Structure 1
Amino acid sequence: MKDYYQAINWNKLEDQIDKATWEKLTEQFWLDTRIPLSNDLADWRKFAPEHKKVVERVFGGLTLLDTVQSEDGMDSLMKDIRTQHERAVLNNIQFMESVHAKSYSSIFSTLNTPKEIEEIFEWTHTNKYLQYKAQKIDGIYRTGTPLEKKVASVFLETFLFYSGFYTPLYWLGHNKLANVAEIIKLILRDESVHGTYIGYKFQLGFRELNQEEQDKLSAWIYDLLYDLYANEEKYTHYLYDEVGWADKVLTFLRYNANKALMNLGLDPLFPDTADDVDPVVMNGISTTTSNHDFFSQVGNGYLLGDVEAMSDEDYNIK
């Protein structure tokens, strides 16, 4: 039992980044219920069966990964907080990961029949590549060191989600499923902050290690990335070969794998840059959101069309 409980004091900060991140995340707050997904039904009805299947499966996969993050990931990170304020930030992140997972169900309930929804979720439970990465990340959450857990979280937020994000961003660039894509852009805006914040906390701990410990952990990180990427290649070919997008998706994945390493303060692994990614998809990554509710002015932009995710520079460690 604790000798006493310590009230959290936001007027006395150990780390200013905690407060800055809290404010950014609360400014960005949104809910899927404010986005008119039914406006995308006309587009959806014209989709070829193979394109519908890709959309359904990538969103099923994203639901599974967001569930891992909300149910196990943030709980795991909370065991190793450096400050009380960090716990508050992680509480916010955990809630928003649940919002993300629910948002995909809102998409399904709009576009799919109950029978189709059951089939999508059954697929997520049985696809070996999807289950592999979920179990790999969750295993680190359960048995890894505090720094290893942060690496797993950053790889999930900044790398593994992106094989799924490619699809709605592609269709947005072709003026299809615009409201579905708005949800993805809101999720991307959140994930950008989540990845950079947790990467920043990793860097604080990494700097406290001696050179031998740093070298050993760095080798483990790159080995983990190689392993995850090898599985992600198979997952991507499984999802996208039928529509001919696999190679472009893999370029997008490698670019985001490098971003994940940069969030951790490490050197990029792959030669791919933003210039190599399909420009239609890169344009969709813009964190500005549209506003559909002209009366209350709290549509999916939530008065925050000019709010952007925190940049890497916001988390620079001097």
Structure 2
Amino acid sequence: MSEQNQKVSTYYSAINWNAIEDALDKHTWEKLTSQFWLDTRIPVSNDLDDWRKLPKVEQDTFAKAFAGLTLLDTLQSVDGAEVLKADARTPQEIACFNNIQFMESVHAKSYSTIFSTLNTKAEIEELFDWVDTNSFMQKKAEIINSYYEAEAPADASEHEKLIVGLKKKVASVFLETCLFYSGFYTPLWYLGNNKMTNSAEIIKLIIRDESVHGTYIGYKFQLGFNELTDEEQSEFKDWMYDLLYTLYENEEAYSHLLYDEIGWTDEVLKFVRYNANKALMNLGQDPLFPDTAADVNSVVMNGISTSSSNHDFFSQVGNSYLLGEVEAMSDEDYMIGLKK
């Protein structure tokens, strides 16, 4: 063998999708890529007639709800998905997180597409100033990001590093499967009332993505959680439920601020609690709140389950673009994780 053909030690390994260690990585990749979409393909301008008919207070609530969602998706796209890569068990998992990170950026941008269609430049600047200085939104971001930024000490054992990584996953699932929903309530309510349907179409696409993100990250959490001792699991559960209580208390205050004037607060909080239970299901844990789907406003649940709107996506971009149909959400959407 010539010197040029001699084998050397591996410096960098190629990702091999033909050697799958975890079948859910492949399933998730295929699901994520099949759901690809862009905000520019949805004719938000068709909502302008509905928008102009909304009372000023409802316009304000609608816009602020979307501003809050923009901040949360910015956090997910910049930090949330990025930090989870460090604890990946397989190279295919890293690829899935790369996809998730990109789509979180699409989500964050999509709200600006709605703003630019419905709001003036001055109104948009006011909205971003509002969310960037809102104490409840900033507290929400700070709590979640504190776990994203946490690092195990340099001399930490692999087991200690595992626990730090598990807390990042819990924070991510709580954000995506619970905290987004105080904002999602608004467009879903209008969709259930056959208003602002194109803006809501974007939200339904985001919810479809977040459903996959939450279940996938929750599944990866369960793999690590099951490596803990019974005592460690008990301590970790206490921390997890305490964190959710803290986040919910802040969410209560935020919802009162956003929805008291239009009288939706109680219904919004039922929706948040219902989805908090969904987040715990993703993590393989027992529900915390008594709320079920039957307790949630039926108009909002109808907004989630309504099939994709009738507008012609092909007319927006040509027949080369195929947007997957928005699927109804069900309990099974949150249950692809490990069974105990």
- Indicate whether the TM-score tops 0.5: yes
Instruction: Name the residue aligned to 1:207.
Output: 226
2:312 to 292, 297, 310: 292
Q: Deviation string for 1:276-315 (max 9, x for gaps)?
A: 000110111227423523554577x714356979723433
Query: Helix, strand or coil for the counterpart of 2:62?
Result: helix
Matched, 1:302 2:309: no
**Deviation for aligned residue 1:175:** 1.1
CA distance in 2, matches of 1:174, 1:305: 18
1:59 to 51, 55, 66: 66
Query: Helix, strand or coil for the counterpart of 1:23?
Result: helix
**Deviation for aligned residue 1:34:** 0.4
Matched, 1:30 2:37: yes
Aligned pairs for 1:226-237 within 5 A: 226-237=245-256
CA distance in 1, matches of 2:82, 2:149: 10
Contact (CA 8 Å) 2:32, 2:99: kept in 1 or not? yes
Specify whether residues 158 and 303 from structure 1 end up closer, same or farther in structure 2 by C-alpha distance, changes over 3 A only. closer
Aligned pairs for 1:141-290 within 5 A: 141-143=148-150, 145-286=164-305, 288-290=307-309
CA distance in 1, matches of 2:182, 2:134: 15
Give the residue type in structure 2 aligned to 1:315.
G
Contact (CA 8 Å) 1:254, 1:270: kept in 2 or not? yes
Contact (CA 8 Å) 1:199, 1:264: kept in 2 or not? yes
Specify whether residues 99 and 6 from structure 1 end up closer, same or farther in structure 2 by C-alpha distance, changes over 3 A only. same
Q: Deviation string for 1:233-276 (max 9, x for gaps)?
A: 00000000000000000000000000000000000000000000
Contact (CA 8 Å) 2:140, 2:250: kept in 1 or not? yes
Query: Helix, strand or coil for the counterpart of 1:285?
Result: helix
Unaligned runs of 5+ in 2: 1-8, 152-163
The RMSD of aligned alpha carbons is 1.8
CA distance in 2, matches of 1:170, 1:293: 23
Instruction: Name the residue aligned to 1:315.
Output: 337
CA distance in 2, matches of 1:88, 1:150: 17
CA distance in 1, matches of 2:122, 2:115: 11
CA distance in 1, matches of 2:40, 2:216: 27
Q: Deviation string for 1:12-55 (max 9, x for gaps)?
A: 10100000000000000000000000000011011111101101
Contact (CA 8 Å) 1:195, 1:263: kept in 2 or not? yes
CA distance in 2, matches of 1:172, 1:304: 16
Instruction: Name the residue aligned to 2:13.
Output: 6
Matched, 1:123 2:130: yes
Query: Helix, strand or coil for the counterpart of 1:265?
Result: coil
**Deviation for aligned residue 1:174:** 0.9
CA distance in 1, matches of 2:265, 2:294: 18
Matched, 1:94 2:114: no
Give the residue type in structure 2 aligned to 1:247.
D
CA distance in 2, matches of 1:163, 1:157: 11
Query: Helix, strand or coil for the counterpart of 1:253?
Result: helix
Give the residue type in structure 2 aligned to 1:316.
L
Contact (CA 8 Å) 2:282, 2:335: kept in 1 or not? no
Unaligned runs of 5+ in 1: none
Query: Helix, strand or coil for the counterpart of 2:336?
Result: helix
CA distance in 2, matches of 1:306, 1:71: 27
Matched pairs, number: 316
CA distance in 2, matches of 1:8, 1:298: 29
CA distance in 2, matches of 1:97, 1:108: 17
**Deviation for aligned residue 1:154:** 0.1
Overall identity of the aligned pairs, in %: 63
Give the residue type in structure 1 aligned to 2:313.
D
CA distance in 2, matches of 1:267, 1:306: 26
CA distance in 2, matches of 1:208, 1:195: 20
TM-score, structure 1 normalization: 0.95
Specify whether residues 219 and 87 from structure 1 end up closer, same or farther in structure 2 by C-alpha distance, changes over 3 A only. same
Query: Helix, strand or coil for the counterpart of 1:292?
Result: coil
